[in-house]
Amino acid sequence: MPTNEQPKWYILHTYSGYEAMVKDSLEKLIENNNLGDYIVDLKIPMEQVIEEKNGKRKVVERKLLPCYVFIKMIYTNQIWYYVTSTRGVTGFCGPQGRPIPMKEEEIVKMRLETPVIPEGEFSVGDTVSVEEGPLKGFFGTIKEVNATAQKAKITTTMFGRSTDVEVEYLQIKKVDATIPEPTDEE
pLDDT tens sequence across 101-110: 999 888 877 8
pLDDT per residue as tens digits for the range 27-70: 999 999 999 999 999 999 887 777 888 888 887 888 889 999 99
- The CATH classification of domain 8-109, taken from the options 2.60.120.330, 3.30.70.940, 3.40.50.720, 3.40.50.10680: 3.30.70.940
Name the amino acid, one letter, at 88: G
CA separation, residue 92 to residues 5, 10, 33, 109 (Å): 20, 7, 21, 20
Q: Which bin fits 86, alpha (ψ -120 to 50), beta or left (φ > 0)?
A: beta
Classify domain 127-174 by CATH number.
Answer: 2.30.30.30
- DSSP 8-state assignment for residue 34: T
Predicted local distance difference test score (pLDDT) of residue 181? 55
Element (H, E) at 29: helix 19-33
Q: What is the pTM of this model?
A: 0.63
